[in-house]
Chain A
Amino acid sequence: MTRSFGHEHPGAMGFLTDATLCIGCKACEVACKQWNELPADGDAALSARSYDNTGDLGATTWRHVAFIERVATDEAPFAWLMLSDVCKHCVHAGCMEACPTGAIVRTEFDSIFIQPDICNGCGYCVPACPFGVPQLDQDDGRVHKCTLCYDRLRGGLQPACATACPTDSILFGPVTELRSIGRSRVESLKERGVQKASLYGDTSLGGTNGIGGLNAMFVLNDEPELFNLPAAPSLPQRTTGPAFLATLLSGACFALLGAAAFRATKRGED
Chain B
Amino acid sequence: MPKKPLDDRIRDSPRPHAPPIHRSHWGWLVVAYFFLGGIAGGAQVIAALAALVGGKKSAGVARLARYVSFAAFLPCPPLLILDLGRPERFLHMLRVVKLRSPMSVGSWTLVAFGGVAALATLDQAAADHILPRGMLTRRRGWWSPLTAVTGLPLGLGLAGYTGVLLAATAVPLWTKRGLLLGPLFLASALSTAAAAIDATAIATGQRHRGWAPLRRFERLTLLAETLLMAAWLGRLGRAGLPLASGPLALWVHHGVAGLGLAVPAVLGALAPHLPPKLRITASAVALSSTLFGGFVLRWVLVVGGNRSADDAGATFEMTARPSTERKQGN
Residues of chain A at the chain B interface (Cβ within 8 Å): 47, 49-50, 52, 55-56, 64, 66-71, 73-75, 94, 97-103, 118-124, 126-138, 140-143, 195-196, 198, 204-205, 223, 225-226, 228-234, 236-237, 239-244, 246-248, 250-251, 254-255, 257-259, 261-266, 268-270
Per the bound structure, the CA–CA distance linking A229 and B18 in Å amounts to: 11
A240 touches B102 (CB 8 A): yes
B156 touches A254 (CB 8 A): yes
**B89-113 interface bits toward A, Cβ cutoff 8 Å, 1 = contact, 0 = none:** 1101101101111111111000000
CB distance from A29 to the nearest CB of B (A): 13
A259 touches B9 (CB 8 A): no
Per the bound structure, the CA–CA distance linking A259 and B217 in Å amounts to: 9
From the candidates B24, B153, B185, name the one contacting A127 in the complex (CB within 8 A).
B24
CB distance from A169 to the nearest CB of B (A): 18
CB distance from B236 to the nearest CB of A (A): 15
B182 touches A254 (CB 8 A): no
Question: Chain A residues near B272 (CB, 8 Å)?
Answer: none
Per the bound structure, the CA–CA distance linking A242 and B164 in Å amounts to: 9
B319 touches A67 (CB 8 A): no
**B113-128 interface bits toward A, Cβ cutoff 8 Å, 1 = contact, 0 = none:** 0000000000000000
Asked if B281 is at the interface (CB within 8 A of a chain A CB), the reply is no
Pick from B31-39, B51-59, B261-269 the stretch touching chain A.
Answer: B51-59
| Chain A residue nearest to B14 in the complex (CB) | A49
CB distance from A102 to the nearest CB of B (A): 4
Interface size in chain B (residues, C-beta < 8 A): 102
A73 touches B3 (CB 8 A): yes
- 8 Å CB interface, B1-50 against A: 1-4, 6, 9-10, 12-26, 45-46, 49-50
Contact A127:B169 (CB < 8 A) given known A223-B6, A229-B20? yes
Contact A247:B57 (CB < 8 A) given known A55-B16, A120-B89, A121-B86? no
Asked if B70 is at the interface (CB within 8 A of a chain A CB), the reply is no
Per the bound structure, the CA–CA distance linking A142 and B25 in Å amounts to: 12
Contact A236:B169 (CB < 8 A) given known A97-B101, A254-B221? yes
Q: A121-B89, A124-B24 are in contact. List 4 more A-B contacts (CB 8 A).
A: A69-B14, A70-B9, A230-B20, A269-B56
Pick from B133-141, B172-180, B242-250, B289-297 the stretch touching chain A.
Answer: B172-180
Asked if B212 is at the interface (CB within 8 A of a chain A CB), the reply is yes
Question: Chain A residues near B10 (CB, 8 Å)?
Answer: 225-226
Per the bound structure, the CA–CA distance linking A134 and B312 in Å amounts to: 17
A132 touches B22 (CB 8 A): yes
CB distance from B4 to the nearest CB of A (A): 5
**B130-170 interface bits toward A, Cβ cutoff 8 Å, 1 = contact, 0 = none:** 00000000000000000000001100110011011101111
Question: Chain B residues near A71 (CB, 8 Å)?
Answer: 4, 9, 12-13
Residues of chain B at the chain A interface (Cβ within 8 Å): 1-4, 6, 9-10, 12-26, 45-46, 49-50, 52-58, 61, 83-87, 89-90, 92-93, 95-96, 98-107, 152-153, 156-157, 160-161, 163-165, 167-171, 174-175, 178-183, 185-187, 190, 210, 212-214, 216-217, 220-221, 224, 305, 309, 312, 315-316, 319-322, 326, 329-330
CB distance from A6 to the nearest CB of B (A): 28
A262 touches B101 (CB 8 A): no
Question: Chain B residues near A70 (CB, 8 Å)?
Answer: 9, 13
B22 touches A135 (CB 8 A): yes
Contact A74:B3 (CB < 8 A) given known A129-B22, A236-B168? yes
CB distance from A28 to the nearest CB of B (A): 16
B182 touches A102 (CB 8 A): no
Contact A228:B101 (CB < 8 A) given known A69-B13, A101-B92, A122-B84? no
A100 touches B104 (CB 8 A): yes
CB distance from A196 to the nearest CB of B (A): 7
